[in-house]
Amino acid sequence: MDTAERRDLMTRYTEEVVTDEELLDVLERDSPSAYIGYAPTGEMHIGHFTTIRKLADFLRAGVEVTVLVADLHAHLDDEKSPFDLLDARTDYYQQAIEAMVEVAGADPENIEFVQGREFELDQPYTLDLYRMLADTTISRATRAGSEVVRQSDNPKLGGLVYTLMQSLDVAALDADIAYGGIDQRGIYMLAREMLPDYGYDKPVCVFAPLLSGLTGGKMSASDAASKVNLTDDRETVREKLGQAYCPMGEVEDNGVLEYARYLVFPLLEEQDEAFQVERPEKFGGDLVYEDYESLEADFVSEDLHPQDLKNATADHIADAVAPVRERLLADSDLLATAYPDQYD
């Protein structure tokens, strides 16, 4: 693969790259590295799956991948995770991520996992943090984290420190590329702005799109019906997609189409398989799609009915989730210790 091909592989199905020139430049280096961070808060879901699937593309493009399980962040963001559950949730996140990477056709052994506290409590990280705290206005930090950190009428300091720490994570993990959902954009733009002041390189940023929820609008952690969980069985996946917002012929805000595009098709492509749609004879019989574009074209022209799209997408998603689900449920303590309120 030449550099341009590697760049194309890394940036397919993404929302934005900052900047393309810098990415090409990084890929020319000896051992380019990328990192993505997840704060181990609530249970992981299908939205995480789409961003994690891309890690397989990174590895194929010859980029070293580090996954940060940002346990301190999980607590700093409005105490989403109680302090004494951070280790249990870190363990759960790592296992869930490994399982998803495997489904994506990559070897999780090739990914380096790091827990936030392993380096975020040491120097020079902490010294840099204090310098940055002195150097950053409240409004700047607020703006940077406004799409990531939970907003409230009485925000805590933790949410502001969060954004500065995430900026420093890039430098501390020595990552050339910061990868994450487009919601992370504000924080990484702050990182690009500030890190050079502290003697670090500014990171190249690759942003994944955020998928629409199944109920229309954004996917919401607090709305169980808006997303497929990694522990959902086939029947539950079918029910959730069956209830999904999916207007005939409309692409906008259509979570079902987006799941097909950003998760199902990339996975099928990896396995060299096509998208199968089972359809009753009276509606025209079965269909097969080799790529997303032709599926979308049929949907827009209303040759593919939402009900048939839902059935087919649900089955493909259930297939993708099944191995992850099995692994997570195989260890009966894993979820129970990470989420004692949900699993007792």
Binding site for RNA (CB under 7 A): 154, 215-216, 225, 242-248, 279-280, 283-284, 305-308, 310
| Three-state DSSP state, 187 | helix
In the bound state with RNA, the residue whose beta carbon lies nearer, of 3 and 311, is 311
In the bound state with RNA, the residue whose beta carbon lies nearer, of 271 and 276, is 276
The Cα 203–Cα 194 span in angstroms is 11
In the bound state with RNA, the residue whose beta carbon lies nearer, of 127 and 225, is 225
Least distance in Å: CB of 232 to RNA?
A: 15
In the bound state with RNA, the residue whose beta carbon lies nearer, of 202 and 261, is 261
In the bound state with RNA, the residue whose beta carbon lies nearer, of 205 and 219, is 219
Residue 45 DSSP class: B
In the bound state with RNA, the residue whose beta carbon lies nearer, of 114 and 237, is 237
Least distance in Å: CB of 153 to RNA?
A: 8
Per the CB < 8 A criterion, the answer to whether 198 and 64 are in contact is: no
Q: What are the structure tokens assigned to 320, written together?
A: 């993708």
Backbone φ/ψ region at 120: left (φ over 0), alpha (ψ -120 to 50), beta: alpha
CA diameter of the chain: 69
Burial 230-252 (b: 16+ CB within 10 A, else e): bbbeeebbbebbeebbbeeeeee
Least distance in Å: CB of 43 to RNA?
A: 18
CA distances, 55 to each of 50, 103, 106, 179, 180 (Å)? 9, 11, 8, 9, 10
Least distance in Å: CB of 21 to RNA?
A: 42
Least distance in Å: CB of 214 to RNA?
A: 8
In the bound state with RNA, the residue whose beta carbon lies nearer, of 78 and 147, is 78
In the block, which residue shows the tokens 């940023």? 205
In the bound state with RNA, the residue whose beta carbon lies nearer, of 48 and 310, is 310
Least distance in Å: CB of 285 to RNA?
A: 11
Least distance in Å: CB of 328 to RNA?
A: 25
In the bound state with RNA, the residue whose beta carbon lies nearer, of 307 and 337, is 307
Least distance in Å: CB of 44 to RNA?
A: 22
Q: How many residues does the chain have?
A: 344
CA distances, 105 to each of 99, 126, 260, 332 (Å)? 10, 37, 17, 26
Of 341, 335, 268, 342, nearest in space to 96 by CA: 335
At 159, give phi and psi (nearest 5°): -65, -25
Per the CB < 8 A criterion, the answer to whether 251 and 335 are in contact is: no
Least distance in Å: CB of 303 to RNA?
A: 9
The Cα 56–Cα 61 span in angstroms is 9
